[in-house]
């Protein structure tokens, strides 16, 4: 990319050009250095958007709920970005589901931007570049950024590291399944959306959640909000609870702390990524590195000894 092309892209982003924004988002998702360079230029504009994570088990109605939430946010003219993390296509490497069909009623709204991202077979429910795309949405002037995860693996923990507020969506009928996820959700949930509240079992779900929350000793107790996303029932109340949580974070200085912790975590992860890439390069090119890995394979030395030796070699080679 020439300096002229770079300047033109920056100029178009400044003017709010959606096609250019989509192109740059793809660059960042594909770890194209040009996308990171553009994000670096716009980074001073970040820090204004409120980031909301939406997670929960598959089939809980997350996409429908996000669609309804967007409708509520648009009532006060908020500019809304949606990042929907989808499974990765085994053929293209892209998002398998594509832009969510349920959200397409917002597709013609110039103040709503919808992006599907492949999770790139991440062990958790969000892609490794999601946080960088969130930053770009923020810099592009979004007031609200909604990040919906796959709801599998460690996605609950990952989304909590990305978001200012995290909503966990739970439907009735989970049975013993709720026991398997409760440890994680109790740690990271700021709000619970008890979705599909028109179905049998909602009272039992709410009772069980109330019982679980009795052990919560924090100042903020996550509210339980019944919703029927398909009709929009309970969604205004959920948004009201979300705004209360934002006010709570702001009044206690916790919003800035969460964001500070998030940036520190992102920096550490980037450093790890760079170090691993550098180590992979050295293993391919340097005989000393290859020799250490070979010794581990035949149990000549332990992984702990190897790690120490590799670390010393990295320091030596700079």
**pLDDT tens profile 147-200:** 998 765 555 577 788 899 999 999 998 765 565 555 566 778 999 999 999 999
H or E element in which residue 170 lies: strand 165-170
Q: For the chain, what is the mean pLDDT?
A: 84
Mean pLDDT of 248-268: 92
Q: Please determine, for residue 130, whether its predicted confidence score (pLDDT) is greater than 80.
A: yes
Mean pLDDT of 120-146: 78
Of 233 and 156, more confident: 233
Q: Please determine, for residue 239, whether its predicted confidence score (pLDDT) is greater than 80.
A: yes
Q: Which of 116-120, 139-143, 198-202 is predicted least confidently?
A: 116-120
Q: Which of 243, 6, 269 lies closest to 130, judged by CA?
A: 269
pLDDT band at 270 (very low <50, low <70, confident <90, very high): confident
Q: Where are the domains of the chain?
A: 1-45, 46-252, 264-317
CA distance 168 to 174: 14
> Could you give phi then psi for residue 101, rounded to 5 degrees?
-60, -35
pLDDT band at 225 (very low <50, low <70, confident <90, very high): very high
Mean pLDDT of 287-291: 88
Coil/strand/helix, residue 70: helix
pTM of the model: 0.85
Contact 222, 244 (CB under 8 A): no
pLDDT band at 116 (very low <50, low <70, confident <90, very high): confident
Q: Please determine, for residue 15, whether its predicted confidence score (pLDDT) is greater than 70.
A: yes
- CATH of segment(s) 46-252: 3.40.50.300
pLDDT band at 95 (very low <50, low <70, confident <90, very high): very low
Mean pLDDT of 268-272: 84
Determine the pLDDT at residue 99. 43
Structure tokens that stand for 188 in this block: 């990271």
pLDDT band at 96 (very low <50, low <70, confident <90, very high): very low
* Backbone torsion region of residue 16, taken as left when φ is above 0, otherwise alpha when ψ lies between -120 and 50, otherwise beta: left
For 47-89, write each residue's pLDDT tens digit: 999 999 998 888 899 999 999 999 999 999 999 999 988 654 3
Q: Which residues of 99-128 are buried (b: 16+ CB within 10 A; e: fewer)?
A: ebebbeebeeeebbbbbbbbbbebebbbbe
Mean pLDDT of 283-311: 90
Q: What percent of the chain has pLDDT over 90?
A: 48
Determine the pLDDT at residue 131. 86
Determine the pLDDT at residue 120. 47
* Number of Cβ atoms within 10 Å of the Cβ of 151: 21
Q: Please determine, for residue 20, whether its predicted confidence score (pLDDT) is greater than 90.
A: yes
For residues 250, 252, 256, 260, the Cα torsion angle rounded to the nearest 10 degrees is -150
pLDDT band at 98 (very low <50, low <70, confident <90, very high): very low
Q: Please determine, for residue 93, whether its predicted confidence score (pLDDT) is greater than 50.
A: no
* C-alpha 313: how far from chain center: 35
State how beta strands 165-170 and 224-226 pair: unpaired
Mean pLDDT of 101-111: 75
Determine the pLDDT at residue 4. 56
Q: Which of 58-72, 85-99, 242-256, 280-294 is predicted least confidently?
A: 85-99
């Amino acid at each position: 990319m020439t300096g002229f092309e770079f300047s033109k892209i920056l100029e178009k982003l400044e003017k709010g050009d959606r096609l250019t924004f989509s192109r740059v988002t793809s660059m960042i998702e594909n770890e194209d250095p040009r996308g990171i360079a553009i994000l670096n230029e716009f980074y001073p504009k970040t820090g204004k958007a409120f980031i909301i994570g939406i997670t929960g088990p598959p089939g809980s109605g997350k996409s429908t709920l996000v669609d309804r939430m967007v409708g509520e946010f648009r009532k006060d003219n908020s500019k809304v970005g949606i990042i929907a993390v989808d499974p990765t296509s085994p053929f293209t490497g892209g998002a398998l589901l594509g832009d969510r069909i349920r959200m397409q009623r917002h597709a013609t709204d110039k103040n709503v931007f919808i992006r599907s991202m492949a999770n790139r077979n991440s062990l958790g429910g969000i892609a490794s570049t999601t946080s960088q795309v969130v930053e770009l949405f923020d810099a592009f002037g979004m007031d609200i950024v909604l990040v919906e995860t796959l709801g599998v693996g460690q996605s609950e923990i990952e989304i909590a590291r990305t978001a200012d507020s995290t909503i966990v969506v739970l439907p009735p009928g989970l049975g013993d399944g709720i026991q398997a996820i409760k440890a994680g959700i109790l740690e990271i949930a700021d709000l619970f959306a008890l979705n599909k509240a028109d179905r049998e079992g909602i009272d039992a779900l709410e009772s069980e959640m109330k019982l679980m929350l009795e052990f919560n000793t924090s100042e903020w107790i996550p509210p339980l909000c019944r919703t029927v996303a398909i009709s929009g029932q309970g969604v205004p109340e959920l948004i009201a609870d979300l705004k209360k949580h934002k006010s709570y974070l702001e009044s206690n200085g916790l919003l800035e702390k969460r964001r500070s912790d998030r940036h520190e975590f992102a920096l550490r992860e980037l450093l790890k990524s760079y170090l691993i890439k550098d180590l992979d390069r050295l293993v391919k090119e340097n005989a000393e590195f290859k020799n250490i890995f070979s010794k581990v394979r035949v149990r000549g030395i332990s992984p702990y000894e190897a790690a120490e030796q590799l670390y010393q070699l990295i320091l030596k080679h700079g």
